[in-house]
Amino acid sequence: MKKTLKIFKWTAIILGSLLAATFIFIQLTWNKKFTAPYPDIKASKDSTVIARGKYLAFGPAHCATCHVPMDKIMAVENGLEIPLSGGWELEFPGFGNFRAPNLTPDTETGIGKLTDADLARSIRHSVGSDGRLIFPFMSFQEMSDEDLTAVISFLRSQEPVSHLVPRTEYGLLGKALVAFGLLKPEGPKNTPQKAVVRDSIAEYGKYLTYHVANCRGCHTEMDVNTGQYIGADFSGGTLFEPDAFSNGYSHMSPNLTPDPNTGVITKWSEDQFLTRFTTGRIHEGSPMPWGAFSNMDSTDLKAIYRYLHSLQPVERKVAQTVIPPVEK
């Protein structure tokens, strides 16, 4: 009996020591500094370039969906164009509290002191001006140089707004993923294009769905623990839990591939697709940025429609895309 107790005692001591050592290691190493190349991007004062950047920010790239105060999100969704002064917040218990920063050119609380190359590196490589990790919510790693220039040019053109947004705070789990190298900056897998041809063709639609609007990010099932895609691209299946704007509803992203039995837009005409987007939000609390996407022009929408219909069909039934709250 004494021998058994002794074994338990030493086992507990060893496990406790390992846990303590792991905790100390995480706390000492999670706040890493990363390096990444600085893209050769320089903001322009050309009104056409700025207009393109504004269109992207309030349209397909939906920057305004996150980079505004929480109490202004629905105003933006309803068409109001305001300076991108940051403040959106998303909390994952244990993982972290993520906040979208102020992107106006205010020198104290915004991007006023950052160089164009600093901004381009943050957007393309998820590395901040001080080398910190920028959590890869933004899927703009392979946005073209031309469009990246346009976005940064627009950001520079805004009125400065003094709005201090606290930095993202990582919980123990988030810190552990960074410390052990499981969460790190994401850069482009391919060399970004200098420019893309803007036309209502599938090739341009592919560019938009992957590198600007991030349709793939929501309409492809992802492992919430690893952040890795586990479903076929655009076949749906991502669950969005209730948030502050969903009134208790959950949502499941639908299958956008042209499967004749399970693809949600397979039988839609091009006109029906365009009408659905210009109509805006129908389901309260839908996680899709309908306000921004309703600002997209017909060229972009036609390109996306044609690309989605060019995909290999994937048979995957998403039975319910809007899930009401469970009655207690």
CA angle (172, 174, 175) in 5-degree steps: 65
Query: How many whole angstroms separate alpha carbon 240 and alpha carbon 97?
Result: 17
Alpha-carbon distance values, 53 to 151, 153, 192, 300, 328 (Å): 4, 7, 17, 15, 47
Q: What's the average model confidence in pLDDT over 25-29?
A: 85
Q: What is the pTM of this model?
A: 0.92
Q: What's the average model confidence in pLDDT over 158-185?
A: 92
Q: What's the average model confidence in pLDDT over 130-135?
A: 92
Q: What's the average model confidence in pLDDT over 281-285?
A: 81
pLDDT beyond 60 at 156: yes
Q: Note the pLDDT of residue 132.
A: 93
With a CB cutoff of 8 Å and minimum separation 6, the contacts of 229 are 220, 221, 222, 223
Q: What's the average model confidence in pLDDT over 128-145?
A: 92
Reading the block at residue 265, the tokens are 């837009």
Q: Note the pLDDT of residue 80.
A: 84
pLDDT beyond 80 at 17: yes
- When the pLDDT of each residue in the chain is averaged and rounded to a whole number, the result is 91
CB 263 within 8 A of CB 280: no
What confidence category does residue 129 fall into, taking pLDDT thresholds of 50, 70 and 90? very high
For residue range 53-78, list pLDDT tens digits in order: 999 999 999 999 999 999 998 888 88
Alpha-carbon distance values, 154 to 56, 102, 105, 182, 190 (Å): 9, 14, 10, 34, 25
pLDDT beyond 90 at 1: no
